[in-house]
Amino acid sequence: MQDRTIAITGAASGIGRATALLCAERGARLALIDLDEAGLKNVAEEAERTGVRTGTYVCDVRDEDAVADVFARTREDVGVPQGLFASAGVELGGFAHELSAERWQKVLDINLNGSFFVSKHMLQGLLDAGLPGSIVLCSSPASFVSFAAGANSAYAASKGAVSALTRTLAIDYARHGVRVNAVVPGPTETPLMWMAVPEGERPELKKVIETEVPLGRMSHPDEPARAVLWLLSDDSSYVTGSHLVCDGGVLAKASISV
């Protein structure tokens, strides 16, 4: 990744932050995108200790005009991105019969529309420059199975759509040398993991989750980030339209005990 520019949304925390730091260790220039200005500053300062150039951009990925502006500035500041990790996401929870249209729409706007907008403007930059590239979207086990706790219809619908978007973009842009894949993280110690869980319930729920994951623990953000890194790199040069599952065995496990 030496001297290659990588754009990352949701870069201020969680898997996005971990991916940014791994990319920096490998010499990539970074375009760090998030709504959390203080978090962006923090990760940029840490990344710059490796000697790489970074640009930080406060942006709401639901706003296509803002996304277009960020990618235009990125091309000026740190070069045309040849890698993108669309990590920005939200999980608000709620059973369908209680879920307001506003809550439903917010989840889809961030998780799906945001992934589409950043992919669209990433692709435009690559096509204009005649460059190959790699896009990694962030899917979820919820794309394939329903979570046992329930109340995540909006999140599951958004991530299922992200999986479909991954496949269609992969086919549409393969002839341009652009690969599009998705990472599928399992339960990971990130702010998103606990977004819909009251703080007082988190320690006990973590114990339950650890008994349900075949590997017996939640993952550290670095673990799915390493999967993202592989998909962004030339090591995965013949991989496109795929899902790289990094979930501790969750999707491989049947829900019954006999």
Q: Where are the domains of the chain?
A: 5-245
State the average pLDDT over residues 158-173.
98
State the average pLDDT over residues 198-205.
85
- CA dist 2 and 23 (Å) reads 9
State the average pLDDT over residues 47-56.
97
Q: Which of 125, 135, 130, 119 is nearest to 80 (CA)?
A: 125
User: How many CB atoms lie under 10 A from the CB of residue 200?
Assistant: 7
- CA dist 56 and 156 (Å) reads 30
Q: Identity (one letter) of the amino acid at 212?
A: E
CA 179 to chain centre: 16
In Å, what is the CA distance from 40 to each residue of 22, 26, 79, 199?
15, 19, 19, 24
Percent of residues in the chain assigned helix, strand, coil, to nearest 5: 50, 15, 35
CB-based contacts of 189, cutoff 8 Å, min separation 6: 218, 219, 220, 221
228 or 189, higher pLDDT: 228
In Å, what is the CA distance from 54 to each residue of 45, 79, 90, 244?
9, 10, 25, 27
pLDDT tens, residue by residue, 206-257: 899 999 999 999 999 999 999 999 999 999 999 999 999 999 999 999 877 7
pLDDT tens, residue by residue, 2-44: 889 999 999 999 999 999 999 999 999 999 999 999 999 999 9
State the average pLDDT over residues 97-116.
97
* Per CATH, domain 5-245 is 3.40.50.300: no
Q: Identity (one letter) of the amino acid at 68?
A: A
State the average pLDDT over residues 80-94.
95
Q: Identity (one letter) of the amino acid at 154?
A: A
In Å, what is the CA distance from 24 to each residue of 3, 43, 233?
10, 10, 13
149 — pLDDT class (breaks 50, 70, 90)? confident
Q: What is the pLDDT of residue 93?
A: 85
SS3 state of residue 91: coil
195 — pLDDT class (breaks 50, 70, 90)? confident
DSSP-assigned letter for residue 53: -
- CA dist 132 and 109 (Å) reads 28
- CA dist 68 and 84 (Å) reads 14
Q: Which of 111, 114, 110, 1 is nearest to 47 (CA)?
A: 1
Give the predicted TM-score (pTM) of the model.
0.95
58 — pLDDT class (breaks 50, 70, 90)? very high
In Å, what is the CA distance from 95 to each residue of 99, 181, 183, 211?
6, 30, 26, 25
Q: What is the pLDDT of residue 255?
A: 79
* Residue 57 falls in the annotated catalytic set: no
Q: What is the pLDDT of residue 143?
A: 96
**What is the percentage of the chain residues whose pLDDT exceeds 90?**
86
